[in-house]
Amino acid sequence: MRTRECPTACGRSDSPHYTTKHSEARFDIFPQGVFRPHQGTVTIKDMKQWTTWPKAIWLLILGMAIQSTGMSFFWPFTTLYVHTIMHRSLAIAGVILMVQSGASILGSAFGGHLFDRLGGVRTIIVGIVGSVLCLVGLFAVANFWPYAVLVALFGLFTGLISPSMYAFSVSVWPEGGRQAFNAIYVAQNLGVAVGSLTGGLVAAAGGLRSTFLVNAALLTGFLIMVAVGYRGPAFQAAHRPASHARGARLNRGALLGPMLLLIGLVLDWTAYSQWTTTTSSYIHQEGFSLPLYSFLWTLNGAVILLGQPFISWITRRIEGVKGQLLLGNLFFLAGYAVLILTHRYVGYVAAMLMTTLGEMLVWPGVPTRTYQITPADQVGLYQGLVSGAASAGRMVGPLLGGILYAQVSRPALYLIMAVIYVASSVLYYVHDRRPAAPHDQVASLIH
């Protein structure tokens, strides 16, 4: 089975159960000493290391930012569109969002499989073309049931895109390691920030229907970029046709590790989703204005974009991605502990800061660790499962939060979410504890 090497600078793997095969060529993922672990300070060289990134990763960053911007023209207005244009209840709007999320989960799993079988470029093109057609249809239809079907199809097609982007990132830049996944994560959040800022302006100027056309135009631009720019040796090398994707499989023991990571991610997203559901209601009940709630998300985006040097410094001082995940969950717990103890707005700010630091470590950390411990020729499949797990958590979180909101007190709700974070931390801690058979052991790539 093809394995991934841990460079000499790493020193050791996350676990004795995932050993390094020294007979194969090593990746030098710390060129010119830029990313040696345990370096004590953040240098100017560290902050400018992105100038040495390959062209292919920049094309992926730009593509993800465009796609994420377009999606930010869709999901914030779905509830409002169903309620005001389709004249349906808020409960029905919630069902539509759940259906869209469920379709996205299926699309993510299928998209990862297509990446391994057909290649990333074809998969992304299918996803974009299908999404654009759905958006044009959403602009044209006026009846609820055709709208509901198109929303479900839109979720399915958009789900095809994200796994291929994450899988491409490490395929076109294998020496980038966790930097590759983090670059796509930051690009995704940049798109959300831009889309959230401009989406409201577009809706106010042209009506809610106009957001469908703007989203379609953005995705069309993305399609042109994929067709023209996603070529050359880097993207061709990342293509894995079916004839080369057979033979390497995880046995049941080794499969347990990725599955524990995925369950942990579902739990993390379930608890994190309370920021967009129950927390917004609590803030409103406590007399804080909508702009103050919106500021928390502005703060979230600013920290994600501007705090990368700090996160880079942290990850160089942590023993492996496993430690990164555990530290991220510790930040999550700290944020929710603040929410349990205080009702002041400054408490919400502090909690958002802690939660943002947690997501900056966990959201790119899970796909990175999953990549490390799974076969190299199934990267698309497992990245699809990672995307699906995140979507599942985003779907379950609001439902669970709504039930608890009606049944328990505010501190009790956040305490339950803290317990969920503890449970996911346990899964992250034990995911590499079960040894695999010697011929199925998988090596770590980076630390």
Query: Which are the contacts of 181, defined by CB distance < 8 A and separation ≥ 6?
Result: 166, 169, 170, 364, 367, 368, 371
Which token pair is 88?
């349906």
Residue 46 has pLDDT above 70, yes or no: no
Written as one letter, the residue type at 153 is L
Q: What is the pLDDT of residue 253?
A: 55
Query: Which are the contacts of 220, defined by CB distance < 8 A and separation ≥ 6?
Result: 128, 132
Domains and CATH numbers, the chain: 53-245 (1.20.1250.20), 247-441 (1.20.1250.20)
Give the least confident one: 18-22, 162-166, 345-349: 18-22
**Would you place residue 80 in the very low, low, confident or very high pLDDT band (cuts 50, 70, 90)?**
confident
The residue among 41 and 420 whose pLDDT is bigger is 420
pTM: 0.77
| pLDDT tens per residue, range 143-201 | 999 999 999 999 999 999 988 898 888 888 877 777 888 889 899 889 888 887 788 78
The candidate with the shortest Cα–Cα distance to 217, out of 77, 67, 325, is 67
Which token pair is 414?
């956040």
Residue 66 has pLDDT above 90, yes or no: yes
Are the C-beta atoms of residues 229 and 59 closer than 8 Å to each other? yes
Give the least confident one: 16-20, 124-128, 157-161, 196-200: 16-20
Tokens 């809706």 appear where?
Answer: 203
Query: Which are the contacts of 128, defined by CB distance < 8 A and separation ≥ 6?
Result: 157, 161, 219, 220, 222, 223, 226
Q: For the chain, how big is the Rg over CA atoms in Å?
A: 21
| pLDDT tens per residue, range 238-292 | 554 444 443 445 555 568 889 999 999 999 999 999 998 888 889 888 988 878 8
Q: What is the DSSP letter of 7?
A: P
Q: What is the pLDDT of residue 52?
A: 77
Which token pair is 285?
């009940």
Alpha carbon 19 to its chain centroid, in Å, reads 27
Tokens 């703060």 appear where?
Answer: 299
Are the C-beta atoms of residues 387 and 126 closer than 8 Å to each other? no
Task: In whole angstroms, give the CA distance from residue 40 to residue 61.
Answer: 29
Once rounded to an integer, what is the mean pLDDT over residues 357-375?
93
Residue 60's Cβ-count burial label (10 Å; 0-12, 13-18, 19+) is buried
- Output phi, psi for 6, to 5 deg: -95, 120
Alpha carbon 22 to its chain centroid, in Å, reads 32
Helix, strand or coil, per DSSP, at residue 185: helix
Are the C-beta atoms of residues 144 and 88 closer than 8 Å to each other? yes
